[in-house]
Structure 1
Amino acid sequence: MRRAAAGFTLLELLLATALLAAALALAFATVRAAGATIERGEALAARNERMRAVSMFLRQRIGGAQGMVFELDSATGQARRFQGDARRMRFVSDLPDYLGRGGPHLHDLTVTDASLQVDFRMVMGGQTVAEPRARPPEPLADGLRRVEFAYRGPGKDGMPGEWRAEWEDVQALPLQVRVRIADAAGPWPELVVGLPIAASYGVGSGR
């Protein structure tokens, strides 16, 4: 007489189910951790690329400041070649070809509540020209926590002077401009830009 084949006991089935559930949970946690790592890596890469692009734009545009007159002060009659404070900076530099026809344009860099933007206006004969199709301000970066401009002219004995939050000598260009930016992830690398052509326009002290 043949004996019936022995099956699994209820305890064995419960144990196998528990082991399977643990293995699935471990696999899910591993996949989720890998996904989070990829997302963090992509976010870091995107942030680094944004910092690189914005810094390159600012370095090229500020470093290429031409010292051209873009307007006359209505109160004093002084010719304005450079104007800047902690949240706004204005100067003339060539417009990049990829943004238009090129040529000297007033660059108006402005800090809003959470962004940095630039406005372009063509300059001719010492004043800005109203264009038929004026472009709106271009956003350079948004989602920012802090943006600060500072300026430095010559100090005593030919040494660089102190950094100042306002450039008062509108007829001259500063020797250097400093830009500090921070977003939710922290501060960006500090950007210090030299203005090679500053000496040609009677470098001021900013005082």
Structure 2
Amino acid sequence: MKAAEKGFTLVEMLVAVSLLAVIMVALGSSLRTIAQTESRVDQRLGRIDEMRVSVGLMRQLIARVSGRKLQMQTAESGTGQVVQFRASASMIEWVGVMPARPGVGGRHYFRLGVEKASTGQLQLVLRFVPWLPEAGDAPDWRRSDSRVLVHQLTQFNVQAEGRPPAGAPLQSWPKGWVEGWPVADQLPERVRLQISDIDGAWPPTVIGIFPLLQGSGSGGDFTVGGGSS
């Protein structure tokens, strides 16, 4: 009769409930840690993918620059020939070839620079507009298409270097890497882009510049749905 009346005491019940509570807390903490780790991994993979795509596009577009020269008025030397390439410490403008794809292709004006988004956050933006011979060296960037290459940008720095052509005065030629590109009538040989976002610095990107074979002419580029080139 006494054996049938045996059961859990109140103390045993309290111990069991306490152990179960501890296990549930530990399990919940582990699940939160796993979720946070997965979120960080997703963010890191997304950043790596943004870096890969953006750097690949910049390499593809900046490497092929038109060497065509225009007769223009310059502040330094008056009227003279200038290439369609300009660079400052935080911006590059050039004429190159957009990879052919449906609706877009052929020679374009390009501008890569820092812009502020509506949220106030800085972004690295690529702008492009079809190249037209009659437009000269002054595209209307207000009518350009654009693509954000880097969100939450904290730094963008442009440097360039190149060897002087035969007969150029060596004393006035930039030596080594310089911010921007101060030579109006010659292309640099390479540019170096230094980019940082809120998660840190990107690896420095060095891009060799190869003048287009048709760079000094007005035709010869293939266009699909774009402007005449």
TM value normalised by structure 1: 0.83
Q: Which residue of 2 aligns with 1:111?
A: 114
Q: Distance in 2 between matches of 1:124 and 1:43?
A: 41
Rounded to whole Å, the distance in 2 between the matches of 1:72 and 1:54 is: 33
**Compared CA separation, residues 20 and 70, structure 1 to 2 (3 A):** farther
Unmatched runs of 5 consecutive residues or more in structure 1:
202-207
Q: Which has the higher relative contact order, 1 or 2, with Cα contacts under 8 A spaced 6 or more apart?
A: 2
Query: 2:18 matched to 1:10?
Result: no
Counterpart check, 1:45 vs 2:45? yes
The 1:108–1:52 alpha-carbon spacing in structure 2 relative to 1, beyond 3 Å, is same
Q: What's the % identity of the aligned pairs?
A: 27
When residues 73 and 84 of structure 1 are mapped into structure 2, their CA distance, relative to the original with a 3 A threshold, is farther
Rounded to whole Å, the distance in 2 between the matches of 1:194 and 1:90 is 16
Q: Distance in 2 between matches of 1:143 and 1:99?
A: 30
Which among 95, 99, 103 is matched to residue 98 of structure 2?
95
Residues 71 and 79 in structure 2, CA contact (< 8 A), matched pair in contact too: no
- In the alignment, is the contact (CA less than 8 A) between 1:123 and 1:129 conserved in 2? no
Secondary structure, aligned partner of 2:131? strand
Contact 2:190 2:207 in 1 (8 A): yes
- 1:170 matched to 2:217? The reply is no
1:117–1:141 contact (8 Å) kept in structure 2: yes
- Report the Cα offset of residue 21 of structure 1: 0.5
Amino acid at match of 2:150: A
Name the amino acid aligned to 1:85: S
Q: 1:108 to 1:18 in 2, by over 3 A?
A: same
- Check the 8 A contact 2:61/2:96 in 1, yes or no: yes
Partner letter of residue 19 of structure 1? L
Separation of aligned partners in 2, 1:115 and 1:187: 14
- C-alpha displacement at 1:74, in angstroms? 6.2
- CA deviation map 1:40-79 (0-9, x unaligned): 1111100000000110011111111122347834653333
Alpha-carbon offset, residue 129 of structure 1: 8.2
What's the CA shift for 1:197? 2.6
Q: How does 1:1-207 map to 2 (within 5 A)?
A: 2-3=1-2, 4-69=4-69, 72-73=72-73, 76-78=78-80, 79-98=82-101, 100-113=103-116, 114-125=122-133, 127=136, 134-154=143-163, 161-197=175-211
Secondary structure in structure 2 of the residue aligned to 1:102: strand
* 1:151 partner amino acid: A
Unpaired runs of 5+ in structure 2?
117-121, 165-169, 216-229
Secondary structure of 2:113's partner? strand
Contact 1:72 1:80 in 2 (8 A): no
Q: Report the count of equivalent residues.
A: 196
> RMSD of the TM alignment (CA)?
2.9
The alpha carbon displacement at 1:18 in A equals 0.7
